Amino acid sequence: MDDQTRMLAGLAGLGGLSQGDVGDQDSVRKQLGQPQQDIGDILQQIMAITDESLDEAQARKHALNCHRMKPALFSVLCEIKEKTVLSIRGVQDEDPPDPQIMRLDNMLLAEGVSGPEKGGGSAAAAAAAAAAAGGSPGSDGGIEHSDYRAKLAQIRQIYHSELEKYEQACSEFTNHVMNLLREQSRTRPISPKEIERMVAIIHRKFSSIQMQLKQSTCEAVMILRSRFLDARRKRRNFNKQATEVLNEYFYSHLSNPYPSEEAKEELAKKCAITVSQVSNWFGNKRIRYKKNIGKFQEEANLYAVKTAVDAASVSAQASQANSPATPNSGTHIFGSIKITSN
């Protein structure tokens, strides 16, 4: 009962001390003549250790270890620690996997930057290139592709070497701290849990650095992607014959230059381009024609003549076969066009 009341008073209700601990401390108290004085001295010496030379410190440390007070102080520290451990326990919550980090990791994995070495990378690059290229050219795709892959490999290599560097530094530092703690555990009590916590803290710090690395790597990959997979950056003009076919269709359907899906497919096949390229072309053509009809007059005449000649060759007619300067005689411009003057 005596023990219990003392414990309540001394530990402010924190509990957690075993009877053994209390007994230990009790005996310590009896042993000491003037506890305050001696403990103060020892603490002073401990604090002064950092100011001393290594040999000196070593010697002093040894002396302290052999000090008759050492076990007593040790047990006092044990007691204090019992108290603090409790307060620490409340603060320590396991970190939930940060969704941001997960996202970065996933992206890097998908991009083939992290994960298995060469295999993943080239697979991802190939998939990306395939998705971008569609399936038409085949000739110049290879060069861009390999270029992209090379850049990606470069990024991957930098990423991995940096990551390794961090990992190494982390484990080195962890080792160092562990050694320090082990050394210190001779003079003060250190539970495995404490060490564990220390290591966790270190790892968290380093992983935050790693996140920065991941972030910047992601950024680099995104830039690379937009640089190489954005088709408009490596635009090739259609060949002469293709534009000829397209223009022919456009000017011969000038009153309604909206090819149906089937017509688009047909044109795409004839021009060796994709259907969406045909759509793009007509979209651009319509808007640009309408924007400045005058500029396209010559072209319009040219193709009008062309089709007229074709028609004439079929039905050898010469109703009004002369001056090609007749601007699109029967072609009313599609829909209702508001010509923006500029």
Which residues form the interface with DNA (CB under 7 A)?
230-238, 243, 258, 273, 276-277, 279-281, 283-284, 286-288, 290, 295, 334-335, 338, 340
In the bound complex, what is the minimum distance in angstroms from residue 151's beta carbon to DNA?
14
Helices (H), ranges, 32-117: 35-48, 54-66, 70-91, 99-111
Residue (65 or 258) nearer to DNA, CB: 258
Residue (118 or 288) nearer to DNA, CB: 288
Tokens representing 76 are 């006092």
CB 141 within 8 A of CB 229: no
In the bound complex, what is the minimum distance in angstroms from residue 123's beta carbon to DNA?
22
In the bound complex, what is the minimum distance in angstroms from residue 268's beta carbon to DNA?
11
Tokens representing 162 are 């940096």
Q: Report the alpha-carbon distance of residue 75 to residue 81 in Å, rounded.
A: 10
Residue (210 or 277) nearer to DNA, CB: 277
CB 134 within 8 A of CB 91: no
Q: How many CB atoms lie within 10 A of CB 238?
A: 16
Residue (191 or 280) nearer to DNA, CB: 280
Which residue, among 135, 292, 148, has the nearest Cα to 224 in the 3D structure?
Answer: 148
In the bound complex, what is the minimum distance in angstroms from residue 237's beta carbon to DNA?
4
Residue (174 or 279) nearer to DNA, CB: 279
Q: Report the alpha-carbon distance of residue 143 to residue 130 in Å, rounded.
A: 13
Can you say how many angstroms the Cα of residue 199 is from the centroid of all Cα atoms in its chain?
26
Residue (103 or 233) nearer to DNA, CB: 233
Amino acid letter, residue 209: I
In the bound complex, what is the minimum distance in angstroms from residue 145's beta carbon to DNA?
16
Question: What backbone phi and psi angles, to 5 degrees, belong to 235?
Answer: -70, 140
In the bound complex, what is the minimum distance in angstroms from residue 290's beta carbon to DNA?
6
